Structure 1
Amino acid sequence: MTTEERPARRDRLTPFHLIGAAALALVAIVYLAGRELGFLARWWLFSGALAFPGFVFAGMLAASLVLTLLALLLRRRRKVALFGTAGVSVGLLVALLVTAVAMPVTVAPDAIPARQDGQLRVLGWNVLQGAEDAASRAALISALQPDIVVLSELYQGNLLRDGEVPPGYMSYGVRGIAVTVLVADDLPRYRVVDADESGHTSGFVLAPEVDGAAPRIVAAHLVALSFRGDSSGRDFGLDWIASHCDSPDTIVAGDLNAVPANMPAGTLGSCRTIGTFAPTWPSMIPPLFGAAIDNVLATSEWDAARVATLDIAGIATDHRPVVADLVRR
């Protein structure tokens, strides 16, 4: 091979670099449309990718930097490939930095101020089938004094022994459904009015024994998106929640295995997300690369005075808890 042939072959690589850069830019645009506009919000694996903006932008940035490095190795017409790939890299770096800056931070439980009069405090926590034992659950509940506690992956809600129910709370659950709800004694008594036992999701609905005396509670732990991209179980659960949000004065809490971007305009029926939580899962990695799949939603009767994702030292479960202080409009 002559020295004249080598640069010519390298020049033929230039269009491939530009095509790669254009493809990354297009994917980033589609992804942003999904995040901000609900575009393809429940479509296949894309719906799962919407939950991990930090991971997605970091991955695309890494690919773009590789293309930029290869462009630097071109000996002729390298400016075309270099400017194209470098421009995409800069755009992806900006997207990653904006994601990091805009993402709420996690806070320690002792940084949450005492609940004020007129507020309803909701605590949601996936305790990983008892990885967080009764003592650790009670310690967090004692520190925060929530009115409503939704514990995902705790199956024994209606079978908890006396020592496992924190003082001042009533426990509710349905056998075989992976959610337990604790309600403070100063709220009215509740009753289970519906439970999804289809196998597509785990959840049940509580209504006050006296209609209108307190909000309805939809407690849920939805099926996760499979690695094959099957979202049917998760989407069934989202639709099940939406059907119960047609009732006024309703609060939804739990591990939804979905982020607001998977819900059109952040709503399910008449319920809407009431704030932006820092990523909750998985708890062992920095929040920037996690997913905010534990959420609280509410109908229009409620606004959020505060929402937070909690950072707990020595956490045993793979989910961080979330807390929301709600106020009536």
Structure 2
Amino acid sequence: MRAARCRRADRVRRTGAKIFSGVVIAASLLLAGVLLFHRFIPNRWYNLGSLIETFLPWFGIGVPVLVVLAAIRRRPLAIVCSLLPALVWFQMYAALIPDKHQGAGDFRVVAHNVNAENTDTEATAATLLAAEPDVVVLVELTEEQRLDWAGVLDGAYEHSASYGTVALWSTYPITESNEVDLELGWARAFRAAIDIDGEPVAFYVAHLLSVRVNAEGFTSEQRNRTAELLGEAIAAEDLERVVLAGDLNGTVQDRSLAPITYQLDSAQAAAGKGFGFTWPADAPLARIDQVLYRGLEATGSDVLDATASDHRPVQADFAF
């Protein structure tokens, strides 16, 4: 009788072990599949694909958990499968982790979503100016804030341009500027041509519409449309050298920003260290504030200290 009970208990343990290993294997393959084939996750259900791509690096947290669970069972197949997402994640992001700074460039750009509710202009400006930028890009400015910032920056930056809620200050001459129409009824993007020591550079300043996570899912249709329009403007740019700075409300892996990112490179990816997350400021989870470029060499990229905004400022150095 006792032997029969022992055999039954042993069968139950073996069955449980097989189920446990099967779950670990299935979860490992699923995680590897999400990382490897995220581009094929459809957006038709709650814009799930874009939502996953926004926070894709964080899926790596599941890797050590799966490895530990597989090691507990000591099943070779489970262990091998648990290593697959680790290899995929490493292949995707290993190049971002090392420090790629090359030193000072020919000019420095600082960009910041200052937050329309940020009343601490002087302290916020002190953080930005400590980086000694040649070009300062600000988005999400109210009219009152724009005037306050002009009072702080105009003395150090002789040249400026502003349209609606976005603005730029420069130590170099702005030869021309014009709004980029995002079909919103108010200005959230513009182009400014800046002469940097005789080298013309087209600067695009943009604050794309926000995405929302609600009962309808990850709603981003309007943001996606503004990305298309901004991408069209950049594609039509005559100048060889282009810098886009601002809050794109999306990461460079978000497929919806492809009209922009297919033609510009990320300064953070080329010359930064790590992922450079910027939002939310207190505990950043995603890099939605960008400095992108073409026709230049990025020599440095950093995320500055938090200000009174809910976004962190970003900095990028460029050389001709």
TM-score (norm 2): 0.74
Relative to structure 1, is the Cα distance of residues 18 and 157 closer, same or farther in structure 2, using a 3 angstrom cutoff?
farther
Give the deviation of 1:60 after TM superposition: 5.2
Relative to structure 1, is the Cα distance of residues 46 and 127 closer, same or farther in structure 2, using a 3 angstrom cutoff?
same
- Name the counterpart of 2:135: 148
- Structure 1 residues 104-153: Cα deviation after superposition (integer angstroms, max 9, x where no partner): 489xxxx997x55xx23211112222437321233134322323222232
Q: Which amino acid is 2:266 matched to?
A: T
Give the deviation of 1:51 after TM superposition: 3.4
- Name the counterpart of 1:296: 291
- The answer to whether the 8 Å contact 1:202/1:221 transfers is no
- Structure 1 residues 13-44: Cα deviation after superposition (integer angstroms, max 9, x where no partner): 44533442233223332333257xx5559772
- Structure 1 residues 213-260: Cα deviation after superposition (integer angstroms, max 9, x where no partner): 733322222234432122323322322221111113332111212222
Does 2:155 correspond to 1:167? yes
- Name the counterpart of 1:230: 219
Aligned residues: 299
Superposition pairs of residues 106-185 of structure 1, within 5 angstroms: 116=105, 119-131=106-118, 133-156=120-143, 159-161=146-148, 162-169=150-157, 170-175=159-164, 177=165, 180-185=166-171
User: How many angstroms apart in 2 are the aligned matches of 1:215 and 1:267?
Assistant: 17
- The answer to whether the 8 Å contact 2:24/2:69 transfers is no
- Structure 1 residues 72-119: Cα deviation after superposition (integer angstroms, max 9, x where no partner): 4xxxxxx5xx4344444455567778888754489xxxx997x55xx2
User: How many angstroms apart in 2 are the aligned matches of 1:248 and 1:157?
Assistant: 34
- Name the counterpart of 2:238: 248
Relative to structure 1, is the Cα distance of residues 209 and 325 closer, same or farther in structure 2, using a 3 angstrom cutoff?
closer
Q: Secondary structure at the match of 1:248?
A: coil
Give the deviation of 1:5 after TM superposition: 2.9
Superposition pairs of residues 76-115 of structure 1, within 5 angstroms: 82-91=75-84, 102-104=95-97
- Structure 1 residues 59-78: Cα deviation after superposition (integer angstroms, max 9, x where no partner): 45436645765xx4xxxxxx
Q: Secondary structure at the match of 2:188?
A: strand
Does 2:191 correspond to 1:206? yes
Superposition pairs of residues 27-66 of structure 1, within 5 angstroms: 27-34=30-37, 40=41, 44-59=47-62, 61-62=64-65, 65=68
- Name the counterpart of 1:326: 318
- The answer to whether the 8 Å contact 2:32/2:88 transfers is no
User: How many angstroms apart in 2 are the aligned matches of 1:237 and 1:60?
Assistant: 35
Does 2:25 correspond to 1:22? yes
User: How many angstroms apart in 1 are the aligned matches of 2:153 and 2:287?
Assistant: 27
User: How many angstroms apart in 1 are the aligned matches of 2:62 and 2:17?
Assistant: 22
Give the deviation of 1:184 after TM superposition: 1.4
Q: Secondary structure at the match of 2:302?
A: strand
Q: Secondary structure at the match of 2:107?
A: strand
Relative to structure 1, is the Cα distance of residues 138 and 317 closer, same or farther in structure 2, using a 3 angstrom cutoff?
closer
**Structure 2: tracts of 5 or more residues without a match:** none
- The answer to whether the 8 Å contact 1:20/1:67 transfers is no
User: How many angstroms apart in 2 are the aligned matches of 1:134 and 1:292?
Assistant: 23
**Structure 1: tracts of 5 or more residues without a match:** 73-78
Identity of aligned residues (%): 22
- The answer to whether the 8 Å contact 2:181/2:229 transfers is no
Q: Secondary structure at the match of 1:214?
A: strand
Superposition pairs of residues 266-281 of structure 1, within 5 angstroms: 268=261, 270-276=263-269, 277=272, 278-281=276-279
- The answer to whether the 8 Å contact 1:191/1:208 transfers is yes
User: How many angstroms apart in 1 are the aligned matches of 2:167 and 2:317?
Assistant: 17
Give the deviation of 1:50 after TM superposition: 2.7
Q: Which amino acid is 1:151 matched to?
A: L
User: How many angstroms apart in 2 are the aligned matches of 1:157 and 1:29?
Assistant: 49
Segment of structure 1 superposing worse, 271-280 or 201-210: 201-210
Q: Secondary structure at the match of 2:137?
A: strand
Relative to structure 1, is the Cα distance of residues 105 and 183 closer, same or farther in structure 2, using a 3 angstrom cutoff?
farther
